[in-house]
Amino acid sequence: MANPDLIRLDATTMVDMLKAGDITPHDAIDAMEQRVHETDKSVNALPITCFDRARAEADRLMKQQPEHRGVLQGLPVAIKDLSNVEGVRSTQGSPIYADYIPDTSDFVVTTIEASGGIVAAKSNTPEFGAGANTFNEVFGATRNPWNTALSAAGSSGGSAVALATGMAWLAHGSDLGGSLRNPASFNGIVGMRPSPGRVASGPSSNPFDTLAVDGPMARCVKDVALFLDAMAVSDPRIPISLEAPSRPFLDAAKEALPPKRVAFSPDLGITPVDPVVADQCRDAAEQLANAGIEVIEAHPDFTGAHEAFQVLRAHGFASSLNELYQHNRDQLKPEVVWNIERGLALSAGEIAQAERMRGTLFDRATDFMKDVDLLITPATIVPPYPVEERYVRACNGVEFDTYIDWLAIAYAITLTSLPALSLPAGLTPDGLPVGLQLVGKPRGEAMLLSHAAMVENVLGRLDIPRNPSA
């Protein structure tokens, strides 16, 4: 019989128990399956499960000695439904692939499995990850467990909700314009966007892409560090792959070193922010100041970020999805069609200008980070909004032109390639999570995780897992 208490434990604790032989991967799988059965009907976070496959993998793994079972030791994980898992339905959130079962797994999946992670479920995502509200025509909408009338954000919304409800200890996500950080903010968990090349992504038609990355999601900073250790493996199939660090990221997170100097910005100078969110994040910055950290109000110059991101995103959509557009246009949601057509209409001059601007933004940001240990901002600009709204159309009196404009506080950081994560800053007066975005130095995941663990200690963790509420 499944032990329901296991779902409340941190991933690091579960791994220690697996390594010691106090529990087996089968115990963890049983607990996860029971929790999914009890909970997911309310939130629709894990529409695809593969517990039989997971148990077969557990049988294989248990034939090895603990020192050969990888850093995750057989802990079950959830994989975002943008990544293929061999023998498991993999839909991309699209009717085009509604019944697709791949013969091979994507690189990030094989890396996690080689590190001792056992795939037990696929998490819901918007079609092709487009848009920061997790809904699609295949499985419907994923709902926020803090209030099921509200959005879980996206595009890694299913992963975030699975964590927030105790249906998973670790969940995979991906991030282009905030797809890890926005759902982490909306659901009160931690999501990390690592540096491009830190995690092997692919196979891809554009293996040199540095805008979209895969990354770890979990309930706390130490668990994110643990999962990053499982994912951050150098891969010769990836031309931008980084060498794995000699010291585990988990060791850095356990140190929880305080940053000496932090820059706080409520808006990066480029976006409106809901006053409730801005106040909560400013309060978090004040708590850090009260803990003895020097906090200044400043940010890099992000002039040109909107134009550069819109062009580069559109170019990426046209490059990766044009063939589907040509043959299956009527099956694509309107936001995806718009993004592809925007990309097909671009001139070479527009693309060249966007690339130059991105280079300028990188130079400004890296120069700024020489004088601070962290840049902190709201992770997203609004609290969770009604799930029926496809995207945020206005904020604090400002109307947005496109479905991605409201994501600027996240996508501006994407353009810099700096590592960033979202962790809970607290709750709104209505009891909804607000995320704080922490941005680190270039390729500085280890120190970012160390500082983030200290910030988490100051701000406190939210009480999870939660039962979904209406």
Three-state DSSP state, 318: helix
Angle, helix 107-114 to helix 221-231, in steps of 10 degrees: 110
| Residue 398 Cα distances to 124, 395, 406, angstroms | 30, 5, 10
Position 469 confidence tier, pLDDT thresholds 50, 70, 90:
confident
pLDDT at 436 over 90: yes
The C-alpha atoms of residue 120 and residue 244 are separated, in whole angstroms, by: 26
Mean pLDDT of 33-59: 98
Tell me whether the omega of the peptide bond preceding residue 203 falls within 30 degrees of 0, making it cis.
yes
Residues 6+ apart with CB under 8 A from 246: none
Is 465 part of a structural domain of the chain? no
The total number of structural domains that make up the chain: 1
Q: Tens of pLDDT along 187-205?
A: 999 999 999 999 999 999 8
pLDDT at 118 over 80: yes
- Catalytic residue numbers read 80, 155, 179
The percent of residues in the chain predicted with pLDDT above 90, rounded, is 97
pLDDT the model gives residue 83: 98
pLDDT the model gives residue 308: 98
The C-alpha atoms of residue 218 and residue 15 are separated, in whole angstroms, by: 14
CATH code: domain of residue 87: 3.90.1300.10
The C-alpha atoms of residue 401 and residue 388 are separated, in whole angstroms, by: 19
Position 464 confidence tier, pLDDT thresholds 50, 70, 90:
low
Q: Tens of pLDDT along 288-342?
A: 999 999 999 999 999 999 999 999 999 999 999 999 999 999 999 999 999 999 9
Local structure of residue 332 (DSSP, 8 states)? S
Residue-averaged pLDDT of the chain: 97
The C-alpha atoms of residue 361 and residue 363 are separated, in whole angstroms, by: 5
- Is residue 252 within 8 A of residue 446, CB to CB? The reply is yes
Single out the residue of 238, 345, 256, 241 nearest to residue 293, CA to CA.
Answer: 256
Is 103 part of a structural domain of the chain? yes
pLDDT the model gives residue 210: 96
pLDDT at 48 over 90: yes
Residue with tokens 């969110």: 277
pLDDT the model gives residue 26: 98
The C-alpha atoms of residue 277 and residue 294 are separated, in whole angstroms, by: 22
pLDDT the model gives residue 462: 92
Chain centre distance of CA 281: 20
Residues 6+ apart with CB under 8 A from 454: 256, 257, 258, 259
The C-alpha atoms of residue 9 and residue 280 are separated, in whole angstroms, by: 28
**Helix boundaries (H) for 11-156:** 11-20, 25-43, 51-61, 107-114
The C-alpha atoms of residue 156 and residue 216 are separated, in whole angstroms, by: 11
The C-alpha atoms of residue 203 and residue 4 are separated, in whole angstroms, by: 37
Is 466 part of a structural domain of the chain? no
pLDDT the model gives residue 396: 98
The C-alpha atoms of residue 63 and residue 208 are separated, in whole angstroms, by: 38
pLDDT at 465 over 70: no
Residues 6+ apart with CB under 8 A from 433: 146, 185, 186, 187, 188, 383, 384, 424, 426, 427, 462
Is 467 part of a structural domain of the chain? no
pLDDT the model gives residue 470: 63
pLDDT the model gives residue 463: 81
Mean pLDDT of 4-21: 97
- Is residue 80 within 8 A of residue 123, CB to CB? The reply is yes
Position 144 confidence tier, pLDDT thresholds 50, 70, 90:
very high
Is 395 part of a structural domain of the chain? yes
pLDDT the model gives residue 360: 98
Residue with tokens 């990426």: 316
In the numeric block, which tokens belong to residue 30?
A: 């049983």
pLDDT the model gives residue 468: 87
The C-alpha atoms of residue 285 and residue 275 are separated, in whole angstroms, by: 15
Is 464 part of a structural domain of the chain? no
Domain that holds residue 270: 4-459
Helix (H) or strand (E) holding 221: helix 221-231
- Is residue 152 within 8 A of residue 159, CB to CB? The reply is no
| Residue predicted with more confidence, 2 or 92 | 92
Residue with tokens 């994407």: 414
pLDDT at 22 over 90: yes
Beta strand pairing call for 48-49 and 118-123: antiparallel
Local structure of residue 151 (DSSP, 8 states)? B
| Neighbour count for residue 111 (Cβ, 10 Å) | 20
pLDDT the model gives residue 1: 74
The percent of residues in the chain predicted with pLDDT above 70, rounded, is 99
Is 468 part of a structural domain of the chain? no
pLDDT the model gives residue 53: 98
pLDDT the model gives residue 377: 98
